[in-house]
Amino acid sequence: MIPILMYHQIGQPAPRGAYLRGATVHPRRFASQMILLKRLGYQGLSLGEGLPYIRGEKQGKVFIITFDDGYQNVYLNARPILNQLGFTATNFIVTNLVGGINEWMLAKGSLEAQLMTADEILHWRGDGHEIGSHTVDHVYLSQLSRDEQLQQLQESKHYLEGLLGETVDSFCYPFGDIDDKAIQAVKDSGYRSAVATHKGLARTDDNIFALPRVSIIRSNHLLRFYQKAATKLEDRRRKIYW
């Protein structure tokens, strides 16, 4: 079983009481988490590089690192430590907001946060990390018609492939919103794998288009992080998608 770590922002957490304050992990805490796993003999991988381990084709002490939404503070604060340790990670991009802000969160009361620019996306990929799609507009896929789903999935994929000059194979469901029709639309749009937000370690019998993840939040001290990332603790509460 392989842990797929789910992060959002890596930066200075918002003031106490702010909406989703816990989704921002301080850079020092993130660095200590990565260094711990490195010292324990683990290798951090992008989703694409980690798939052979999930499928059982390769064996090793690995974990997968993912970042939702393409925040600029991930580029600024997470990228240096990942590069230093020789880890790779996947960053899921909302393509209609490249170089903009987290507009989908403002209505919910979240503070404004800058998203990666096209140049930063290219630099991220140039360092050996992976870029995946997070739709065009960060939408609830299950609430869309089939045609709207395909538009969100295919246009985001085509934009990123045009920017990067390579195939984009990985997808992440915005808001963790997933059902059978959304899964089928992701398959039909040409992706090779997708991650959701239900909890658990990825297993060989999981649906490769609905992989569980381990959510890492601001308050996770180092011992709790290790429990979540390197043990079977989270697997007790997993939900299976076929």
> What pLDDT is stored for residue 237 in this prediction?
42
| CATH number of the domain bearing residue 160 | 3.20.20.370
10-residue block means of pLDDT along the chain (242 residues)? 94 67 83 93 96 94 96 97 98 97 80 93 98 97 96 98 97 95 97 94 94 84 78 46 38
> Would residue 94 count as lying in a domain?
yes
> Would residue 242 count as lying in a domain?
no
> What pLDDT is stored for residue 58 in this prediction?
94
> What pLDDT is stored for residue 157 in this prediction?
98
> Would residue 100 count as lying in a domain?
yes
Concatenating the DSSP letter of every residue in the chain gives -B-EEEE-EESPPPPTT-TTGGGEE-HHHHHHHHHHHHHTT-EEE-HHHHHHHHTTSS-SSEEEEEEEE-BHHIIIIIHHHHHHHT---EEEE-GGGTTSB-HHHHTTTPPP-BBPPHHHHHHHHHTT-EEEE--SS---GGGS-HHHHHHHHHHHHHHHHHHHTS---EEE-GGG---HHHHHHHHHTT-SEEEEEEES-B-TTS-TTSEEEEE--TT--HHHHHHHHHSSGGGGG-----
Domain count, the chain: 1
> Would residue 178 count as lying in a domain?
yes
- Domain range for residue 82? 4-237
> What pLDDT is stored for residue 22 in this prediction?
60
> Would residue 37 count as lying in a domain?
yes
> Would residue 129 count as lying in a domain?
yes
